[in-house]
Structure 1
Amino acid sequence: MAALPDPTASLTGAGRAIFEDILARRAAKGVHHLGPYIPLLNHPELAKLIEQLGWYYKYESKLPRDIYQFVVLILAKRSKVEFVWEDHVAAARAAGLPEAVTQMVAQDKRAFPAPFDLVDRITDCAFAFQSIPQPLQDSAIAAFGIEGLLEIVTLCGFYSMMAMVNGCFDVALPAPAPHRGT
């Protein structure tokens, strides 16, 4: 296994404060695992900055939540990093991403309904590091604004980075919560 050590028990000073802040921010939103932040906390300042950007995307961005989650699932499928898919598929459903669209992504089918077809074409350009054709840019700006278009493109980069951290350092999926039957 290529996992980095879990530094959380030995963090002190500013590193400890960053760790506790990340824990508190995530817990306030109901997220009780650190996932890729465990290896990232070997470099606390970097972890802090990455978490702040992730927080923005997840909780403050201009994109509709279903579009945000669609971009993440597209990246998860393309990267083949299971952690990203498993960490986001339930959130995608909760955000209103249609189940049919989720299944199309899972099955690598590419005939998405609007507006997901538009977003998929933008992600194709982003992942290929190619210019987005003007008509496609114009359609995206009409649908999501310039800020939304920028967020779609940069989300591709952000979640590519997160997939790299998860894949390169064998970040384990969080254990499922114990089933509490009625």
Structure 2
Amino acid sequence: MTERLGPIPFDAMTPAQRAVAQAVIDGPRGALYGPFVPLLRSPELMAAAQQMGEYLRYRSALGTRLSELAILVTARHWNQQVEWAIHAPIAAQSGIAQDVIDAIAQRRAPAGLAADEQAVLDFCNELQRDRRVTDATYAKALAQFGEHGVTDLMGLNGYYTFLAMVMNAAQSAVPSSTAAPLPD
């Protein structure tokens, strides 16, 4: 598979591209990679996306552990190898058990989840699979996370779906990772 919208050398970027690329490099990500490579073709879109993503990834009301779980569920639903390669190791470092990560990769229901993890998993699976969330699943998430947390959970699903769509269409190159690739 050929990458459709690969890296642009810094000296070949427009001033707007250079500014938004530098903002990503100077931020908590520390480098320009993944979805920001194809998004660079639309600097204003990239700036807006990176700002939303910075909040959702680093400051979400759910915290890193649960945010990373939501990202993995979204990556699995979209068969998004780049998101998986980046976020599976972060999820493990953040406290998501490796057997849970493996179960998600293999499209199996993980066993022994904590109540907050189960609430995230159920919410994300329903939203990604059914394009809606049942009242019962919503009520469990609301009880666990409150309205702020549920809103951020919806945002995580939407944002990482957006990134998955961008990278799937652009055929973004998968970075090297300690995570095994998602199986077909």
TM-score (norm 1): 0.85
- Residues 37-58 of structure 1: CA deviation (Å, up to 9, x unaligned): 1111111111100000110011
* Identity value in percent: 25
What residue is the counterpart of 1:110 in the other structure? 109
Q: Is the 8 A contact 1:8 1:41 kept in 2?
A: no
The alpha-carbon distance between structure 1 residues 8 and 54, as it changes in their structure 2 partners (threshold 3 A), is farther
Query: Which of 2, 13, 24 in structure 1 is aligned with 2:26?
Result: 24
SS at match of 1:72: helix
* Alpha-carbon shift at residue 175 of structure 1 (Å): 4.6
The number of residue pairs the alignment matches comes to 173
Q: Which amino acid aligns with 1:105?
A: I
Which stretches of structure 1, 4 residues or longer, exceed 4 Å deviation after superposition?
Answer: none
- Bigger relative contact order, structure 1 or 2, given CA contacts below 8 A and separation 6+? 2
Residues in 2 aligned to 1:116 and 1:146: alpha-carbon distance in whole angstroms: 17
What residue is the counterpart of 2:15 in the other structure? 13
Q: Which amino acid aligns with 2:13?
A: L
Q: Please list every run of 5 or more consecutive structure 2 residues that lacks an aligned counterpart in the other structure.
A: 179-184
Q: Please list every run of 5 or more consecutive structure 1 residues that lacks an aligned counterpart in the other structure.
A: 178-182
The alpha-carbon distance between structure 1 residues 37 and 13, as it changes in their structure 2 partners (threshold 3 A), is same
What residue is the counterpart of 1:143 in the other structure? 144
Look at both structures and tell me which one has the larger radius of gyration over its CA atoms. Answer: 1
The alpha-carbon distance between structure 1 residues 116 and 5, as it changes in their structure 2 partners (threshold 3 A), is closer
Superposition CA RMSD, Å: 2.0
TM-score (norm 2): 0.84
Q: Which amino acid aligns with 2:140?
A: S
Q: Does structure 1 residue 122 correspond to structure 2 residue 127?
A: no
* Alpha-carbon shift at residue 88 of structure 1 (Å): 0.5
The alpha-carbon distance between structure 1 residues 50 and 83, as it changes in their structure 2 partners (threshold 3 A), is same
Q: Does structure 1 residue 60 correspond to structure 2 residue 62?
A: no
